[in-house]
C-alpha cells in the first residue's frame, strides 16, 4: 500500500449501522443521533415509512416480525444478515427488538463492534432480545439500574 492509500484509509469515516424496530425502539435510537453525527450511518428498521426521519443517510427496511411469526422472523434474520454483509459497518448499535438482535448477532461474527441498549420501557425485566443479546454484544446496556447484574447488562444512564 502506498502512502496516499494509507492516508485515505486513515481518513475514511467509520460506518455505523443504527438498528431498531419501529415505535419506541426507533424513537430511542433517534435520540442517540449526536453519537454518530460525524460518521457514515446506515439506518435499519422495520417500517419503510421511517425513511423520512433520516434524510441524508442510507436507509434500509426489513420485514417486521416477532417470536409468534416464525417464517417472517426467518426472513427478517436473512435480510438483516445480507444488510450487514452489504454495508460492512464498523459499529452496530441497536435499541431493540428482533432486527437489532439479528444485526448484532451477525455483526459479531463479522468482527463489527456491537452495542445493545435495551429499551427504557423494560423497567422490570430485560426485553426478550435484550436478555439473549448479551453474549454477542461488545457493550450491553440497560436503562434501569435495578436490571444490572454481574453477568448481565451495565447501566450508564437513560436516553431521554
Helix residue ranges, H only, 12-155: 24-30, 70-87, 98-109, 128-132
pLDDT at 90 exceeding the cut of 60: yes
Global pTM reads 0.88
CATH code of residue 121: 3.40.50.2000
Task: Quickly state the pLDDT bin for 127 (edges 50, 70, 90).
Answer: confident
pLDDT value of position 1: 56
Element (H, E) at 59: strand 58-61
Residue 6 is assigned to a structural domain of this protein: no
Is the four-CA dihedral 130, 105, 134, 37 of positive or negative sign?
Answer: negative
Distance CA 92, CA 14 (A): 11
Residue 115 is assigned to a structural domain of this protein: yes
pLDDT at 108 exceeding the cut of 60: yes
Residue 147 is assigned to a structural domain of this protein: yes
pLDDT at 11 exceeding the cut of 70: no
Residue 2 is assigned to a structural domain of this protein: no
Place of cell 428498521: 45
Q: Considering its fold, how many domains does the chain have in total? A: 1
Residue 9 is assigned to a structural domain of this protein: no
Domain residues for the domain of 145 are 14-155
Residue 7 is assigned to a structural domain of this protein: no
Residue 85 is assigned to a structural domain of this protein: yes
Amino acid at each position: 500500500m502506498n502512502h496516499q492509500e494509507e492516508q485515505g484509509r486513515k481518513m475514511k469515516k467509520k460506518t455505523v449501522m443504527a438498528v431498531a424496530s419501529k415505535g419506541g425502539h426507533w424513537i430511542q435510537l433517534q435520540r442517540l443521533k449526536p453519537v454518530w453525527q460525524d460518521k457514515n450511518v446506515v439506518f435499519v428498521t422495520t417500517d419503510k415509512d421511517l425513511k423520512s426521519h433520516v434524510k441524508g443517510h442510507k436507509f434500509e427496511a426489513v420485514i417486521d416480525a416477532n417470536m409468534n411469526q416464525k417464517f417472517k422472523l426467518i426472513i427478517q434474520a436473512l435480510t438483516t444478515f445480507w444488510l450487514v454483509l452489504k454495508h460492512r459497518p464498523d459499529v452496530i448499535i441497536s435499541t431493540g427488538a428482533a432486527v437489532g438482535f439479528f444485526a448484532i448477532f451477525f455483526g459479531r461474527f463479522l468482527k463489527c463492534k456491537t452495542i445493545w441498549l435495551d429499551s427504557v420501557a423494560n423497567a422490570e425485566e430485560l426485553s426478550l432480545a435484550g436478555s439473549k443479546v448479551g453474549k454477542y454484544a461488545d457493550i450491553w446496556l440497560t436503562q434501569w439500574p435495578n436490571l444490572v447484574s454481574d453477568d448481565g447488562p451495565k447501566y450508564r444512564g437513560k436516553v431521554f
